[in-house]
Amino acid sequence: MSTPDDLNIRLVRDGDKGALWPILRDVVRAGDTYAIEPGLSQGMLMDYWCKAPRATYVAESGGEILGTYYIKTNQAGGGAHVCNCGYITAPAARGRGVARAMCLHSQNVARDLGYLAMQFNLVVSTNTGALRLWEALEYERVGHLPAAFRHPVAGLVDAFVMYKWLGAPG
């Protein structure tokens, strides 16, 4: 795994949306990793990913967007100190350390925003690459959700809730 030397992770800009759309569209329509309605229109999916969260970032190298993530508050009120993130890596960039770089970046952003922990609410059991990465980055499986995700090929599969304490804000 070799993360591009010039990988830059920055806030999404309006001009990025044309390059983001095919990455988001293809992952969501595949229906095998995210519990997002696969038939969302371009406008609805872009709003979901870029407007609804607290912040959205892109990872780019050589002017090409290789991945994206959002960060948002996981729960209101007494749970507002825990954030949630979603990550998508462009197919051509998978296996190059982009998701790892985005996750590490998001942990720093989370601390800067005042979050104390990060929780992934639904990590699909068939998404073995993500499970390996999150565990390598010291996320714990704190919940097992039997048959919680309808995979388009494998049928009903389990999912996991994963959690990491981030500590005091930076």
User: For residue 1, is it within any domain?
Assistant: no
User: For residue 2, is it within any domain?
Assistant: no
User: For residue 3, is it within any domain?
Assistant: no
Report the phi/psi class of residue 95: left, alpha or beta, with left for phi > 0 and alpha for psi in -120 to 50. Answer: left
If one counts every other C-beta atom within 10 angstroms of the C-beta of residue 101, the result is 19
User: For residue 111, is it within any domain?
Assistant: yes
Number of domains in the chain: 1
C-alpha dist (Å) from residue 81 to 91, 102, 104, 112, 141: 32, 20, 18, 12, 19
Range of the domain at 138: 8-165
- Phi then psi for residue 107, to 5 deg, are -65, -40
pTM over 0.85: yes
What CATH number is given to the structural domain containing 47?
A: 3.40.630.30
User: For residue 101, is it within any domain?
Assistant: yes
User: For residue 96, is it within any domain?
Assistant: yes
- Residues 6 or more apart whose Cβ sits within 8 Å of residue 59: 7, 8, 9, 65, 66, 67, 68, 69, 89, 98, 101, 102, 105
Report the phi/psi class of residue 111: left, alpha or beta, with left for phi > 0 and alpha for psi in -120 to 50. Answer: alpha
Q: What is the pLDDT along the chain (170 residues), one digit of tens a residue?
A: 567 688 999 999 999 999 999 999 999 999 999 999 999 999 999 999 999 999 999 999 999 999 999 999 999 999 999 999 999 999 999 999 999 999 999 999 999 999 999 999 999 999 999 999 999 999 999 999 999 999 999 999 999 999 999 986 55
User: For residue 170, is it within any domain?
Assistant: no
